[in-house]
């Protein structure tokens, strides 16, 4: 892959002339703006940028980006994106999917794009509902969610997207939510990561699953419920203005976390853990933290690159073709041949 020169653009350069058709108030608007705000900061080049999506509300995203865009079929965007990256690894691919598209019908492809580690950013908009088909429960809907297909409340256990991604072999796990001012930072970190970068973005579906994330995303009291992770920094949360700071301390005996109070900012004395984004075990623990007793971990949970799939394919190809003849006529005549001249045969 060649190093691509950084380009000067503004947010406007990334907007299309197409009318945005999400419901008024949909969290998708905020995510679209966050992406359009982030790309100029990355120095990204619209002509080398490709947005690829599946089917669902989130998957309309490419139509609103002044880049190359491919709105594909339900659940299969990771497979299309893999083909695009193998054909042209220099393209900067962003995959847009949702909880139904990416984890239900397309769960298999999601697993494989992550384990192969194809270099792209994967934004999974998680609204815990099927929006475009009018409100059926999704694989991330919480138990007892009442929808047209679960009038008595859903009985399925929900999937945890980040745990799925990590279990599939993802080397980057980020998490944010639609209206968060920190979302661009997560996107930038994902973009900087070479390999498949999985970003779960909690997204408010104001029509079918309104405010379902308010328990941690609502502005009031957010400090107490959001743990924004930063590599090399202590895992602290709480209201700094009120001097009410807490942190996560590891309890080795039970291999779990304990929420501890930090007095006078001395987090070391309180035994608060420092976040290490390269620690896979830590990532597992953070992803599995139960919200309620613990805050919601957000930001870059895990970021430990390894060689990408396409680089391995390119390297393998280079090795395979070394010293090989690529003359088609000779290929066709390969193996044991014989010549017919007139009626006599001469084995070659």
Partner 1 sequence: MTKAFCFMATQTADPIIHNASPDAVVVRFAGDSGDGMQLTGGQFTLSTALAGNDLATFPDFPAEIRAPQGTLFGVSAFQINFGSREISTAGDAPDVLVAMNPAALKVNLASLKPGGLIIADSGEFTKRNLEKAKYESNPLEDGSLAQWDLLAFDISALTIEAVKDFGLGNKDALRSKNMWTLGLALWMFDRDRQPLIDWLNAKFRTKPDIAAANVAALNAGHAYGETAELSGPLKQVHIGPVESAPGLYRTITGAEAVSLGLVAGAQLAGLPMFFGGYPITPASSILHHLARLKEFGVTTFQAEDEIAAICASIGASYAGQLGVTSSSGPGIALKGEAMGLAVMTEMPLVIVNSQRGGPSTGLPTKTEQSDLYQAVYGRNGDAPIPVVAASSPGDVFECAIEACRIAVEYMTPVMLLTDGYIANAAEPWKVPDVDSFEPFTAKFLTENNNPDGKVLPYKRDAKGARPWIKPGTPGLMHRIGGIEKKEGTGNIDYSPENHQAMTDARKAKIDGITVPDQGVTLGEEGGKLAVVGWGSTFGPIRRAVDNCRKKGLDVSHIHFRHIWPLPANSGELLRKYDKVLVPEMNTGQFKTVLRDQLLVDAQPYTKTSGQPFKIAELEAAIELALAE
- Contact flag: residue 88 with partner 1 (CB under 8 A): yes
- Contact flag: residue 167 with partner 1 (CB under 8 A): no
Picking from 126, 101, 104, the residue whose alpha carbon sits closest to that of residue 203 is: 126
With CB under 8 A as the contact rule, which of the stretches 155-163, 284-292, 298-306, 327-335 interacts with partner 1? 327-335
CA max distance for the chain: 101
CB of 135 to partner 1, least distance (A): 21
CB of 142 to partner 1, least distance (A): 29
- Contact flag: residue 2 with partner 1 (CB under 8 A): no
Number of other CB atoms surrounding residue 244 within 10 Å: 13
- Contact flag: residue 43 with partner 1 (CB under 8 A): no
With CB under 8 A as the contact rule, which of the stretches 162-170, 192-200, 288-296, 322-330 interacts with partner 1? 322-330
Q: Are 52 and 72 in contact (CB under 8 A)?
A: yes
Identified binder of partner 1 from the candidate list 6, 10, 108, 211, rule CB under 8 A: 108
Measured in whole angstroms, the distance separating CA 34 from the mean position of its chain's CA atoms is: 15
Picking from 2, 165, 193, the residue whose alpha carbon sits closest to that of residue 89 is: 2
Residue closer to partner 1 (CB basis): 112 or 280: 112
C-alpha torsion 163→38→210→152, nearest 10: -30
Identified binder of partner 1 from the candidate list 66, 224, 288, 304, rule CB under 8 A: 66
The CA distance from 57 to 20, in Å, is 11
- Residue at token pair 């420092």: 274
Phi–psi pair at 147, nearest 5 degrees: -140, 175
User: Which positions lie near partner 1, rule CB under 8 A?
Assistant: 16-18, 46-48, 50, 52, 55, 62-63, 65-73, 76, 78-84, 86-88, 90-91, 108-109, 111-112, 313, 316-317, 320-321, 324-326, 328-329, 331-345, 347-348
């Amino acid at each position: 892959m060649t190093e691509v020169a950084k380009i000067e653009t503004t947010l406007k350069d990334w907007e299309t002339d197409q009318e945005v058709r999400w419901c008024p108030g949909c969290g998708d608007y905020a995510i679209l703006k966050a992406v359009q705000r982030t790309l100029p900061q990355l120095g990204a080049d619209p002509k080398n940028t490709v947005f690829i999506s599946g089917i669902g509300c989130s998957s309309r995203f490419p139509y609103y980006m002044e880049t190359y865009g491919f709105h594909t079929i339900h659940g299969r965007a990771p497979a299309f994106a893999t083909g695009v990256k193998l054909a042209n690894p220099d393209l900067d691919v962003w995959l847009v999917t949702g909880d139904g598209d990416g984890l239900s019908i397309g769960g298999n492809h999601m697993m494989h794009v992550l384990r192969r580690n194809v270099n792209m950013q994967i934004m999974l908009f998680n609204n815990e509902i099927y929006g475009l088909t009018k409100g059926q429960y999704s694989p991330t809907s919480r138990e007892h969610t009442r929808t047209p297909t679960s009038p008595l409340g859903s009985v399925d256990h929900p999937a945890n997207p980040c745990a799925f991604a990590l279990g599939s072999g993802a080397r980057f796990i980020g998490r944010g939510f639609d209206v968060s001012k920190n979302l661009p930072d997560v996107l930038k970190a994902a973009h900087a990561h070479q390999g498949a970068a999985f970003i779960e973005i909690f997204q408010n579906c104001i029509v079918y699953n309104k405010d379902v994330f308010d328990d941690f995303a609502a502005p009031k009291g957010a400090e107490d419920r959001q743990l924004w992770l930063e590599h090399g920094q202590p895992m602290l949360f709480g209201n700094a203005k009120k001097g009410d700071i807490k942190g996560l301390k590891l309890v080795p005996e039970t291999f779990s976390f304990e929420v501890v109070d930090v007095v006078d900012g001395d987090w070391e004395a309180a035994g608060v853990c420092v976040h290490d984004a390269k620690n896979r075990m830590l990532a597992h623990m953070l992803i599995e933290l139960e919200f309620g007793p613990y805050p919601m971990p957000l930001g870059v949970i895990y970021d430990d690159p390894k060689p990408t799939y396409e680089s391995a394919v390119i390297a393998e190809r280079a090795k395979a073709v070394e010293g090989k003849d690529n003359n088609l006529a000779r290929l066709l005549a390969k193996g044991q041949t014989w010549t017919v001249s007139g009626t006599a045969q001469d084995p070659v």
